[in-house]
Chains A and B, each alone.
Chain A
Amino acid sequence: MPGDPLFNNGLNLAVALIVIIKAIIVFVVVLVSVLFMVMFERKVIGHMQNRIGPNRAGPFGSLQSLADGTKLFFKEALLPAKADKRIYRLAPILAVVPAFLVFSIVPIGGTITIAHHVTRLQLVDPPWGILFMLMLSSIAVYGVMLAGWSSGSKYPLLGAVRASAQMISYEAAMGLSIAAVVVLSGSLHTSAIASGQHGLLHFRNHTVPLPAWNLFRTWVVPFIIFMIAVTAEMHRPPFDLVEAEEEIAGGFNAEYSSLGFALFYLAEFMNVVTMSGVTVTLFLGGPDGPRILGHSVGPFWFVLKLFAFLYTYVWLRATLPRFRYDQLMDLGWKRLIPASLGMLLFVAAVRTGSRGWVIGVMVGLVVGAIALMRALSVGARTTEVEAASIARAGRRA
């Protein structure tokens, strides 16, 4: 049954205590994983670029992020003269708080029993689970936008307008690829989405030797779209036009110093961790994995998959060059959104179970794609003809 069984019987002190303990654990896990992620990223990138990376603070440089944070604590905070003061102070909070909250819906295991109370290994399991994550990623746009706008300076403003267009463009594709997952799970509960991926994959009454993860059940394409959209949403490379150092000097956070800057940094790395967790939940079965020595070790498998994604994001940063802005917009609007719409219909047709509809939708998609190309190529030809006639007119004149 979806929902947290903790709340089924009345609300008493023990239940409240368990909720508080879980909240503290989530806070600690998120903060520690961010400190770890910063160090991990710098270390891995260092090795990928044939350097050593940080190795002075603590054993193997493991305390480097703690040292950086402490340093930023003692730095002078400058409030630019032209800044809109209230919004300038509000923006870092708007960036960090959503990043914190996303992790509260990520299931990292099944259920456990504390003092005769059965509870899930996640802070909350609301009926609006995955919508909550979409909502928070929309709020995160405000953090970046308001930071850039309120600084009263040109580089941050450029970063902010880039951020607003980029993040909302990819949010549409992200929402549609999540819808493909929701079609299969039939529920918005994150726990139901995770638990619906147990066992082996079935395809037309055959068992395929693959896990029944949504990655395979949605025919892989929504996963790829989701990964790209999430990377753009977090403005990580290769989609880091929002804070492109070489072009706009750090972008939206250029006027921030001291803790304000630290909070944006924190939010960025927190997003990497939490969005990796969401990706694992949606597409890779969450805590699903084989039992070890007869025990089900959900959290272990969850963390293992999480690491794979954290490494992937660092890897992307080390290998891919930044997109040009028009390429970014083309990818988002002309490739990802049509593809995710088509995949959503296809997955839904497969889910309704009748073969006629699957064939119908596939034929419809192919015809639609051909019609689309035809419609666009007609447009392109007209402009070519026009350009040629303009050129001829120019020569005659």
Chain B
Amino acid sequence: MSSFLRSYLTVAIFAGAAVVLVVLMLGLGSLLRPTRPQAQKYIAYESGVDPVGEGWSQSQIRYYVFALLFVMFDVETVFILPWAVRVKVLGSYGLIEATAFIVILALGLLYAWRKGVLRWV
């Protein structure tokens, strides 16, 4: 097993230990704490008054649009990081390529900006 895979293994074991710790804590808590059921306790919290309508209400579409825009920039980061590691080796060739890539994406952001997608009314 290579050093690479051992790092993965260590992290996986550590993550497993963290999950076990948290689940143990929750389990211990459920043994220790009191339970006195009462129907009113399980009503959704709406500042003290009885809840109105469904809990899952509609929310503004803009949140969704921002999430779509984010996908563009997250994918950009994924492509930029490999180049960033090798900047010195790739030299000016890599710089031109990366600049072209970034400019195209920046144009995308500019388009969204001009379209008013970034305006939060």
Q: Chain B residues near A157 (CB, 8 Å)?
A: 55-57, 59
Partner of B77, one of A126, A176, A263: A176
| Contact partners of A254 in chain B: CB under 8 A | 45
Known contacts: A124-B7, A171-B70. The answer to whether A352 contacts B91 by CB under 8 A is yes
Q: Closest B-chain residue to A255, C-beta based?
A: B45
Question: 9 extra interchain contacts, Cβ-Cβ under 8 A, other than A104-B10, A126-B4?
Answer: A93-B19, A126-B8, A151-B55, A164-B63, A175-B74, A182-B81, A186-B87, A255-B45, A352-B95
| Interchain CB contact (< 8 A) of A104 among B14, B62, B88 | B14
Q: How does the 8 Å CB contact mask read for B55-74 relative to A, with 1 for contact and 0 for none?
A: 11101101100110110011
- Nearest chain A CB to B9 CB, angstrom units: 9
Binds B, one of A35-43, A196-204, A293-301, A334-342: A334-342
Count of chain B residues near A, Cβ 8 A: 75
CA A201 to CA B85, docked complex, whole Å: 21
Q: Given the complex, which residues of A lie within 8 Å of B102, measured CB to CB?
A: 341, 344-345
Closest residue of B by beta carbon distance from A128: B7
Whether B30 contacts A81 by the Cβ 8 Å rule is no
B7, B17, B44: the one contacting A127 at CB < 8 Å is B7
Q: Closest residue to A168 on the B side, CB-wise?
A: B70
- Chain A stretch 105-125: residues in CB contact (< 8 A) with chain B: 123-125
**In the complex, A188 Cα to B82 Cα: how many Å?**
9
- Contacting residues, chain A, for B91 (C-beta < 8 A): 352
Contact flags B91-106 to A (C-beta < 8 A → 1, else 0): 1101100110011011
- Residue B50 CB within 8 A of the other chain: no
The residues in A between 327 and 355 inclusive whose CB is less than 8 angstroms from any CB of B are 329-330, 333-334, 337-338, 341, 344-345, 348-349, 351-354
| Cα A171 to Cα B46 with chains together (Å) | 31
Could you tell me if B33 and A75 are in contact, using CB atoms closer than 8 angstroms? yes
Residue-wise, chain B 18-30 has the 8 Å CB interface mask toward A (1 for contact) of 1101110110111
Query: At the interface, yes or no: A318 with Cβ under 8 Å from chain B?
Result: no
B14–A334 contact, CB under 8 A? no
A169 x B70 contact (CB < 8 A)? yes
CB pair A76 B32 closer than 8 Å: no
Chain B residues contacting A326 (CB-CB under 8 Å) are: 119-121
- A283 and B47 alpha carbons, distance in the complex (Å): 44
Q: Which residues of A contact B119 (CB under 8 A)?
A: 326
A residues near B (Cβ < 8 Å) are: 3-4, 7-8, 11, 19, 23, 26-27, 73-82, 89, 92-93, 96-97, 100-101, 104, 123-127, 131-132, 134, 149, 151-155, 157-158, 161-162, 164-165, 168-169, 171-172, 175-176, 179-180, 182-183, 186-188, 249, 254-255, 258-260, 263, 325-326, 329-330, 333-334, 337-338, 341, 344-345, 348-349, 351-354, 357, 361, 364, 368, 372, 375-376, 379
Which A residues lie within 8 Å of B42 (CB)? 78-81
Which one of B7, B22, B106, B113 contacts A263 once the chains associate, using CB atoms below 8 Å?
Answer: B22
Does the CB pair A77–B29 fall under 8 Å?
A: yes
Assembly CA distance A11 to B91 (angstroms): 39
B81: chain A residues within 8 A (beta carbon): 131, 175, 179, 182, 188
- Chain B residue with Cβ nearest A3: B3
- Known contacts being A75-B33, A153-B44, A249-B47, is A96 close to B7, with CB within 8 Å? no
Which residue from B35, B118, B121 sits with its C-beta under 8 Å from A330? B118
Partner of B110, one of A124, A176, A375: A375
The CA-CA distance from A131 to B113 in the complex, in Å, is 29
B90 to chain A, nearest CB (A): 8
Contact across chains for A175 and B85 when beta carbons are under 8 A apart: no
Bound-state CA distance A175–B79 (Å) is 11
Give complex CA distance A96, B56 in Å: 25
Q: List 8 A-B contacts (CB under 8 A).
A: A27-B18, A76-B35, A79-B42, A123-B11, A153-B46, A263-B25, A326-B120, A344-B84
Knowing A182-B81, A259-B29 touch, does A27 contact B7 (C-beta < 8 A)? no
Contact present for A101 and B18 (CB under 8 Å): yes
Task: Please provide the 4 A-B residue pairs with the shortest distance between their CB atoms, ordered closest to farther.
Answer: A326-B120, A172-B73, A126-B7, A175-B77
What distance in Å separates the Cβ of B16 from its nearest Cβ neighbour in chain A?
Answer: 10
Q: Which residue on B lies nearest to A181, using beta carbons?
A: B84
B30 proximity list for chain A (CB < 8 A): 77
CB distance from A20 to the nearest CB of B (A): 9
Given contacts A164-B63, A176-B77, A338-B106, contact A375 B114 (CB under 8 A): yes
Chain B minimum-CB-distance residue to A378: B114
Determine whether the beta carbon of A187 is less than 8 Å from that of B77.
no
Chain B residues, Cβ within 8 Å of A165: 62-63, 66-67
Q: Are A249 and B110 in contact (CB under 8 A)?
A: no
Name which residue of chain A comes closest to B60, CB basis: A161
Q: With A and B bound together, what is the CA distance between A4 and B121 in angstroms?
A: 51
* A345 close to B99 (CB less than 8 A): yes
